[in-house]
Every structure is written in C-alpha cells, then in structure tokens.
Amino acid sequence: MRKYEALIVLNMKGAETLDELTAAMSAKLTEAGAKVTDVTNVGRRTFAYESNHLKSGQYMLFAFEAEPQVVRAAREALAIDERVHYQYYRAK
C-alpha cells in the first residue's frame, strides 16, 4: 500500500455541517478502498475569482493509504458529488 494525500475543497452552501461533510468524504474514500489515516482542516479560503457561483470553499486534507487503482475509484466517486468543488491527489 502506498501513502497519498487528497486536498478536497468542499462546497459549504448546503445544510450539512463541516463534521458531517468530513465524515461523508472519509466514508466515500473508505468505500473506494482507502484507509484514511488523518484528516486536517486547512480552513475556509476565498477564491481569487468566482468559480461555479462560489466565492469560497472549505479546504480539507485527507491522508490515506491505498493501492494505486483506488485513487482513480475515489476520484470518480467524489467527482459526481455536488458537495465537492475541487479535488487533488498526490503520492507522499
């Protein structure tokens, strides 16, 4: 298993709290086959320009261990979730 980091920018315009969103994103990563080891709240940041009618987003950093094919499955699972504005993955 390899170590990865996922930076996920969340759309906070919904009715869910940050804890609920974080738990949901961790659950989706786990369902894809990843083992989430750490979650860091990077904070709410204002975008340089408005993107998809959003002026800011909540940045969350998820550290996890997984096989390489799991990253693709996680990316696809989160891409269709409207609560996820942006996602970026990198190997540690």
Domains of the chain: 2-91 (3.30.70.60)
Give the model's pLDDT for residue 55: 92
Q: Is the pTM above the cut of 0.75?
A: yes
Give the count of alpha carbons within 13 A of 78, CB side only: 30
Regions of the chain where pLDDT drops below 70: none
Give the model's pLDDT for residue 16: 83
Give the model's pLDDT for residue 43: 94
Give the model's pLDDT for residue 14: 80
Burial 23-58 (b: 16+ CB within 10 A, else e): eebbebbeebebebeebeeeeeeeeeeeeeeeeebb
